[in-house]
């Protein structure tokens, strides 16, 4: 399958980094980019992230068929607005980098109906607290997981092509059903972002803490807080979109978190004294599960 | 003030690293260590972390006066058991590396009564998910914050000496009242450790997530979860001790966390649709507070 002309729709950190990676791995491919703002256009051209860049104002009607591969690198809400405009036949392969899958796959199934098509939903797990094309780096996807979700009637050829594409870029891939993806991601990605953000707001609301913070020019926090707050508050628009799309699983995960945190808190309530063995078992369980989840052991 | 003989009581990661740092900065000082287990003794001798090492079994009665500086590098609960055995006069300077201050300072005040003394409570903020003397590194304290707490009747000379000591080791120091220390640390350290641990347990309890985790040899988590779980479940015994000592402020911080997380969760309940502007303001607040707390801007 040829890969001469690629369109990256939306070029922030993810799209820009993908562009740099494509340049390395597919040097003959011509990359075009669609962006919202003139500021992005200027950055992209000066960083040479794409050969052709146009804003939607300049080019409101995109000729999708012109490209071998179209990459939607925008929040899920925007992807959902674009899917209905795609042609129902043709050789162009479409992928998105969306952080949730169910709503995209549902809409793809509706849009293409009974037609075989070439839309594969993908999720490269390599976010960063940085944003914008100015932060783009060619190695963003290297040795990262890219989850592939195949809608019911997507062609096997397009699936194999997309899998090969991400592996050439340097990612490793697994296939997940849309629902399994969204539930899993609620726990390993969406909930952690909520927790990190709330943690910073809780610390930021405590007057004693903030008095100390403001009393000296250096940070009073150690590595624990630094790591726990790294992803806090970044990329609000993207996260609102993710939370809306994954509302049900996110609520489940938050409720689980509140339940377990409340159980922990209530270990301190006993007048008979703290149940240390229970507390230690919570700690040991976390250590063991962390090793399992992160494949450290 | 001379610093010829130093005793480090308890030699895990913190004590062992301090020993390596002392060797670099005070090469003439002779370092002795007290440890619990024979295994630690073997590690310490093979890593040359101390000149003399003895277990409590071998040497149950320590001659404190023999040393210029005694460093208690054990959980707070153990420090509290040692303070009553200290001589009420003499030139020896005592410090601990305890993660909470109020209970230590209260006991120091009671123990020394109306006598001027040389006990300064210190808290170098440089923990790690690693533990044990085998993980010791000489740079652990370099460019880290060390909080100094001066009990009421501690001599100014000893305070100045201890401040100078930590700055020579490479830390930067600030002085905090015990209560302010404990409240602040609840928010910037203790709560984050609880949150990280609960997060891993919540993810680890979700069957869909664990099925995916167990289906492939590589981790399915991205950098967000990795950072958010780094401090989870480590060093259970130390944390139980910290939580017991700082119970009241920890409970306050957990309650604040549950309140704010519940508020966030309830943004999804409205049948009229999600209040996006409220969600974005939570995100923007976190971003701003993170920059303030971490002194990024």
CA atoms within 13 A on the CB side of B264: 34
What is the domain-level CATH number for residue A243?
1.10.3660.10
B138 occurs within a structural domain? yes
Same domain, B16 and B114: yes
Confidence of residue A295 (pLDDT cuts 50, 70, 90): confident
A221 occurs within a structural domain? yes
Same domain, B166 and B196: no
Same domain, B34 and B110: yes
pLDDT higher than 60, residue A249 = yes
Same domain, A206 and A157: no
B279 occurs within a structural domain? no
Confidence of residue A167 (pLDDT cuts 50, 70, 90): very high
pLDDT digits (tens, 9 = 90+) for A10-35: 999 999 999 999 999 999 999 999 99
Same domain, A36 and A124: yes
Same domain, B19 and B102: yes
The total number of structural domains in chain A stands at 2
Residue-range definition of the domain harbouring residue A226:
181-266
Same domain, B18 and B115: yes
Confidence of residue A234 (pLDDT cuts 50, 70, 90): confident
What pLDDT is attached to residue B237? 85
* Chain B residues closer than 8 Å to A173 by CB: none
B144 contact partners, CB below 8 Å, separation of at least 6: A222, B124, B125, B126, B170, B171, B172
Same domain, B120 and B192: no
CA atoms within 13 A on the CB side of B156: 0
In A220-249, the residues whose Cβ lies within 8 Å of chain B are 220-234, 236-237, 239-240, 243-244, 247
Confidence of residue A223 (pLDDT cuts 50, 70, 90): confident
pLDDT digits (tens, 9 = 90+) for A106-150: 999 999 999 999 999 999 998 666 788 999 999 999 999 999 999
Q: In what order do the strands lie in the sheet with A30-35?
A: A52-55, A30-35, A5-9, A69-72, A93-96, A119-124, A145-149, A172-175
The domain boundary, picked from A135, A155, A176, lies at A176
Ramachandran bin of A280, using left for φ above 0, alpha for ψ from -120 to 50, beta for the remaining angles: alpha
What pLDDT is attached to residue A126? 85
**Of A202, A210, A231, Cβ closest to residue B256:** A202
A281 occurs within a structural domain? no
Average pLDDT over residues A224-231: 94
B281 occurs within a structural domain? no
List the one residue out of B282, B274, B286 whose CA is nearest residue A247.
B274
Paired with B32 in beta bridges are B7, B52
What pLDDT is attached to residue A222? 83
pLDDT higher than 60, residue A9 = yes
Q: Which two tokens stand for residue A119?
A: 């839309």
* Chain A residues closer than 8 Å to B193 by CB: 224
Residues of chain B below pLDDT 70: 127-129, 270-272, 297
| Dihedral angle of Cα A85, A87, A93, A99, to the nearest 10 degrees | 20
ipTM value: 0.89
What pLDDT is attached to residue A129? 63
pLDDT digits (tens, 9 = 90+) for A169-214: 999 999 999 999 999 999 999 999 999 999 999 999 999 999 999 9
The rounded distance, in Å, linking the Cα atoms of B129 and A144 is 24
Residue B153 at interface with chain A, using a CB cutoff of 8 Å: no
What pLDDT is attached to residue A94? 98
Residue A272 at interface with chain B, using a CB cutoff of 8 Å: no
B114 occurs within a structural domain? yes
The domain boundary, picked from A128, A156, A176, lies at A176
The rounded distance, in Å, linking the Cα atoms of A147 and B78 is 49
A297 occurs within a structural domain? no
> Closest residue of A to B201, CA-based?
A286
pLDDT digits (tens, 9 = 90+) for A150-159: 999 999 999 9
What pLDDT is attached to residue B116? 97
What pLDDT is attached to residue B272? 64
In A167-196, the residues whose Cβ lies within 8 Å of chain B are 172, 174, 176, 180, 183-184, 187-189, 191-196
B210 occurs within a structural domain? yes
Which DSSP string do the residues of B118-183 spell out, in sequence order?
Answer: -EEEEEE----S--SGGG--TTTTTT-EEEEE--TTB-HHHHHHHHHHHHHHT-EEEE--HHHHHH
Average pLDDT over residues A221-241: 90
List the one residue out of A186, A185, A102 whose CA is nearest residue A151.
A102
The rounded distance, in Å, linking the Cα atoms of B53 and B47 is 12
* Chain A residues closer than 8 Å to B232 by CB: 286-287, 290
What is the domain-level CATH number for residue A41?
3.40.50.720
What pLDDT is attached to residue A128? 66
What pLDDT is attached to residue A109? 98
Average pLDDT over residues A262-270: 89
Q: Which two tokens stand for residue A111?
A: 């849009």
Same domain, B86 and B147: yes
Same domain, B141 and B13: yes
B296 contact partners, CB below 8 Å, separation of at least 6: B290
What pLDDT is attached to residue A271? 66
> Which of B128, B289, B291 has the most A C-beta neighbours within 10 Å, making it the best mutation to test the interface with A?
B289
Same domain, B144 and B257: no
Please give the helix or strand (H or E) that residue B293 lies within, else none. Answer: helix B276-294
The domain boundary, picked from A148, A176, A204, lies at A176
A297 compared with B26, residue with greater pLDDT: B26
pLDDT digits (tens, 9 = 90+) for B121-140: 999 998 666 788 999 999 99
User: Which residue's structure tokens are 């410090």?
Assistant: B95
What pLDDT is attached to residue B129? 63
Same domain, B19 and B148: yes
* Chain B residues closer than 8 Å to A145 by CB: 218-220, 222
């Amino acid at each position: 399958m040829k890969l001469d002309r690629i369109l990256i729709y939306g070029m922030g950190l993810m799209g820009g980094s993908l562009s740099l990676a494509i340049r390395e791995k597919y040097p003959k491919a011509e990359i075009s980019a669609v962006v919202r703002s003139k500021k992005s256009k200027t950055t992209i051209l000066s960083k040479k992230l794409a050969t052709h860049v146009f804003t939607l104002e300049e080019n409101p009607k995109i000729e999708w068929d012109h490209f071998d591969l179209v990459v939607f690198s925008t929040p899920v809400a925007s992807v959902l607005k674009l899917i209905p405009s795609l042609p129902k036949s043709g050789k162009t392969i479409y992928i998105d980098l969306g952080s949730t899958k169910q709503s995209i796959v549902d809409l793809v199934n509706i849009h293409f109906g009974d037609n075989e098509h070439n839309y594969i939903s993908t999720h490269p797990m390599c976010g960063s607290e940085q944003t914008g094309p100015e932060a783009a780096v060619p190695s963003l996807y290297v040795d990262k997981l890219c989850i592939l979700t195949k809608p019911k009637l997507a062609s096997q050829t397009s699936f194999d092509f997309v899998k090969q594409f991400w592996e050439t870029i340097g990612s490793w891939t697994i296939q997940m059903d849309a629902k399994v993806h969204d539930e899993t991601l609620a726990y390993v990605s969406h909930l952690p972002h909520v927790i990190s953000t709330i943690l910073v707001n809780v610390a930021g609301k405590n007057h004693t803490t903030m008095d100390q913070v403001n009393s000296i020019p250096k940070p009073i926090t150690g590595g624990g807080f630094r790591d726990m707050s790294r992803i806090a508050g970044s990329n609000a628009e993207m996260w609102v979109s993710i939370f809306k799309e994954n509302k049900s699983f996110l609520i489940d995960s938050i409720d689980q978190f509140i339940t377990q945190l409340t159980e922990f808190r209530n270990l301190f309530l006993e007048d008979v004294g703290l149940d240390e063995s229970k507390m230690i078992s919570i700690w040991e369980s976390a250590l063991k599960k962390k090793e399992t989840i992160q494949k450290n052991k």
